[in-house]
Amino acid sequence: MLVDCIRHRADKTPIFFVLEDCQWLDPISMDLLEVVARNIFDIPVFILLVYRPVEEDSHLARFSKLTYFTEIKIPEFTLAESTELIGLKLQQLFEGAEVTGSFIDRIVDQAGGNPFFVDEMINLLHDRSIDPRDVKSLDSIILPDSLNSLIISRIDQLNENLKTTLKIASVIGRLFKASWLCGIYPQLGEQEVINLQLMQLDRLQITPLLKTEPEIEYLFKHVFTREVAYESLAHSTRQMLHEQIGIYIENEYPESLDEFLNVLAYHFGSSQNTTKQQEYFRKAGVAAQHSFANDAAIDYYQ
């Protein structure tokens, strides 16, 4: 059905799909994407997959065998490109303030050509209310020695309420609905309070607002930020929250649980509720089998 819809639309106008962070695609999405890719080679459709380097035996590696597949490896940023990015970021956050060359060199050296590191480093300056024109303050800054440390530093700048909201959201997933937070973890406060916190995280470019209709949804700007926030929680806490999310979905969407089978299987599968794990692994496996997503079905049955 999806292929038919795409082909019908492509008869009227070319289509360009961009899928980011594809290294995190689940088996069902991977199977669906492969089916689509195999059946659109003769129509004006372009699919761009953005992903980190993967192992040869990765599910993504099988796309290299498809007709018209082309791999484009993106190299690390050069000194000039990193410097340009810093300038653009300063214009965005500090109204075009200039930073001393020595500090730019420090950022570039530490980033190692990683544009995400550069971007987050300037965000960290902004979070700490450091004026980039203040040479003394810049020289006294100890730069994080890794991307992981940099993200932790940004999260540590948040007040406790924002930290908690961010961490609870990370358990839901990269994409999350604002209304779920209150239902999953009432200790966060009333929905109005949570909405204000999410607006702050949006302004900080940590979890930008994605859409407001039919429900307010936010997105972790970078997968890595979500990973760091998630890993900062104790394993037992994550398990408890995953179970709470599963229970919330069951209570909130009792008439449409079939739409959430994969989500329920993931969350209960990450909890200690073995009864619910088995129930939703079985249901998700059956659904995958009916959709001819055989690899996904096998994963669930195992």
The per-residue pLDDT for range 145-174, each reduced to its tens digit, is: 888 888 998 899 899 999 999 999 999 999
Asked if 166 and 227 sit in the same domain, the reply is: yes
The Cα 60–Cα 47 span in angstroms is 14
Q: Is position 243 within any domain?
A: no
Going through the chain in order, the beta strands assigned E by DSSP cover: 15-19, 45-49, 175-177, 209-211, 217-219
Average pLDDT value for residue range 44-54: 86
Residue 239 has pLDDT above 70, yes or no: yes
Same-domain pairing of 223 and 170: yes
SS3 of residue 45 by DSSP: strand
191 and 165 fall within a common domain: yes
61 and 8 in a common domain: yes
Question: Do 133 and 181 have their domain in common?
Answer: no
Residues 167 and 149 in one domain: no
In order of 4, 15, 116, the CA distances from 92 in angstroms are 43, 31, 16
Q: Which residue has the higher pLDDT, 253 or 24?
A: 253
Average pLDDT value for residue range 111-139: 83
Alpha-carbon span 230 to 152, nearest angstrom: 11
Q: Which of 138-142, 147-151, 205-209 has the lowest mean pLDDT?
A: 138-142
Examine residue 17 and state whether it is found in any structural domain, yes or no: yes
Return the bridge partners of 19, or none: 49
pLDDT band at 246 (very low <50, low <70, confident <90, very high): very high
Residues 149 and 182 in one domain: no
Residue 187 within a domain: yes
Task: For residue 38, give both structure tokens.
Answer: 């195999």
Q: Which domain holds residue 216?
A: 158-233
- Whether residue 139 lies inside any domain: the answer is yes
**Confidence band, pLDDT 50/70/90 cuts, at residue 282:** confident
187, 206, 233 - which closes a domain: 233
Which of 36, 41, 44, 49 shows the shortest CA–CA distance to 4?
36
222/258 same-domain check: no
Identity of the highest mean pLDDT range in 24-28, 112-116, 188-192: 188-192
pLDDT band at 216 (very low <50, low <70, confident <90, very high): very high
Distance, CA of 178 to CA of 218 (rounded, Å):
7
Q: What is the CATH number of the domain that holds 212?
A: 1.10.10.10
pTM for this entry: 0.77
Rounded to an integer, the average pLDDT of 91-109 is 77
Q: What is the mean pLDDT of residues 173-200?
A: 93
Domain count, the chain: 4
pLDDT for 298: 66
Domain co-membership, 229 together with 274: no
71 lies in some domain: no
Is residue 225 assigned to a domain? yes
Q: Are residues 169 and 209 in the same domain?
A: yes
Residue where a domain stops, chosen among 65, 87, 109? 65
129 or 210, which is more confident?
Answer: 210
Q: How far apart are CA 242 and CA 140, in angstroms?
A: 41
Give the per-residue pLDDT at 97.
66
On whether residue 241 sits in a domain, the answer given is no
Residue 222 and residue 193 share a domain: yes
* 84 and 20 belong to one structural domain: no
